[in-house]
Structure 1
Amino acid sequence: MPAARESLLDAACTALERRPWSAVRMVDVAASAGVSRQTLYNEFGSKDGLARALVRREADGYLAGVERALAGPGDPRSGPSDPRERLTATAEWMMSAAHDNALVRAMLTGCWSERLPSPALSAVPSSSAAPAQRRADGPLPSPGDFVGLVCDRAVAVLGGSGRSAPSDTAELARSCELAVRLALSCVAAPPAEGAVADLLRAVLPRRSTA
């Protein structure tokens, strides 16, 4: 029941914005989503299962947002954008996503407040047999894993046809990692507005991402 599942995750996310996860009640999440509590348990098995699925959805949404930022302008008439500028825009998006979403910020930094579901939940199997829940039961990426995932996506998108020389690909990979790690450092210690873009334009080689 995909529609009900998404509604329940939306309701859980809204509840988490208003109160600590420990105070979020399953019955309230179900009522807010307009479904029965039994439907909630059928989908997620337990509150721990709901927490894992919620965090997993935020992780997937974050990585999808990274890919959209890397893709650059959607209007084909604008032509391909400078890869260095795409990395800069992606770094700015990463900071914005972390600023606006406490779960994303916790996943990227590894700093989980008491208000949030415990990251340890990601390794605990739930009782649900739903395929989507089995996927949510898998361990979440660590902060270091997220660096690799974002860098891999950046290289794949910005590398174009994949026919670049090995030295060019290696330089692109270094530029991607530099952009990602600088963005993550700014998530932990936010700079002044616009500073991350200025920093990246100053340190990223002009030709290494071309």
Structure 2
Amino acid sequence: MMPAARESLLDAAYTALLHRPWSAVRMVDVAAAAGVSRQTLYNEFGSKDGLARALVRREADGYLAGVERALAAPGDIGERLASAAQWTVSAARQNVLVRAMLTGCWSESLPSPSLAAVPSGSAVPAQRRADGPLPSPSDLVGLVRDRAVAAMAVPGMGKGDAVELARACEVVVRLSLSCVAAPPGEGGVEELVRAALPRQAR
């Protein structure tokens, strides 16, 4: 199957999820919305659980790609970390699956695939990846922290500075997650991030 068709199926599944609980989403309706046969859908994902895993994997990847874009933007360390924190808050506000992944709170209306890897007999590489481990909230903290450190580190940085940078990045990630649970007022995320950073990193 073409990657575009897989994306169309995932888009159709996500759209369906916005309108009804996952338990009421039917594979035949997802296939019809994407313009493919139900058999094609099963060939691609294997089962409804396989579709759920692929959907969660795609939304996690999209969230992390947004983090990387924010970290690559022009600006000082404080601005780039604040941008990544703002992206985290807005992504969680706009995407129910991103919010569930970041908080670990999966409502009954959402798919809640096991985060552990499942046996995969799929011949589709993207599905084999989706059948692997899915990220927990602590996994996402580590992934975002490590991406931030990689984006902010400078050649020749001393060990002490590197440790301080990693600590600052983790504080910002955890602060942004607290803003997901209890959003601050307008402009509040950036102010909180700057206040939390060591003076030399602002």
The match for 1:152 among 137, 146, 149 is: 146
Determine the structure 1 residue equivalent to 2:131: 137
- Deviation string 1:98-149 (CA, Å, 9 cap, x unpaired) is 0100100000000000111013275433553322111100121111111110
1:164-179 pair list within 5 angstroms: 164-179=157-172
Percentage of identical aligned residues: 75
Q: RMSD value over aligned CA atoms?
A: 1.4
Distance 1:122 1:21 in 2: 20
Determine the structure 2 residue equivalent to 1:30: 31
Tell me if structure 1 keeps the 8 A contact 2:82–2:194: yes
Scaled by the length of structure 2, what TM-score is found? 0.94
CA 1:139/1:106 → structure 2, altered by over 3 Å: closer, same or farther?
A: same
Distance 1:69 1:132 in 2: 25
Distance 1:47 1:190 in 2: 33
Q: Unaligned regions of 5+ residues in structure 2, if any?
A: none
Determine the structure 2 residue equivalent to 1:63: 64
Tell me if structure 2 keeps the 8 A contact 1:112–1:118: yes
Distance 2:125 2:146 in 1: 27
The match for 2:107 among 91, 105, 113 is: 113
Distance 2:71 2:103 in 1: 21
CA 1:54/1:13 → structure 2, altered by over 3 Å: closer, same or farther?
A: same
Q: Unaligned regions of 5+ residues in structure 1, if any?
A: 74-80
SS in structure 2 opposite 1:119?
Answer: coil
Tell me if structure 2 keeps the 8 A contact 1:98–1:105: yes
By how many angstroms is 1:168 displaced? 1.2
SS in structure 2 opposite 1:207?
Answer: helix
Determine the structure 2 residue equivalent to 1:8: 9
- Structure 1: 4+ residue segments shifted above 6 A: none
Determine the structure 2 residue equivalent to 1:54: 55
CA 1:32/1:67 → structure 2, altered by over 3 Å: closer, same or farther?
A: same
Tell me if structure 1 keeps the 8 A contact 2:172–2:196: no
- Deviation string 1:53-96 (CA, Å, 9 cap, x unpaired) is 000000111111100000114xxxxxxx1111110111011000
By how many angstroms is 1:37 displaced? 0.9
1:186-201 pair list within 5 angstroms: 186-201=179-194
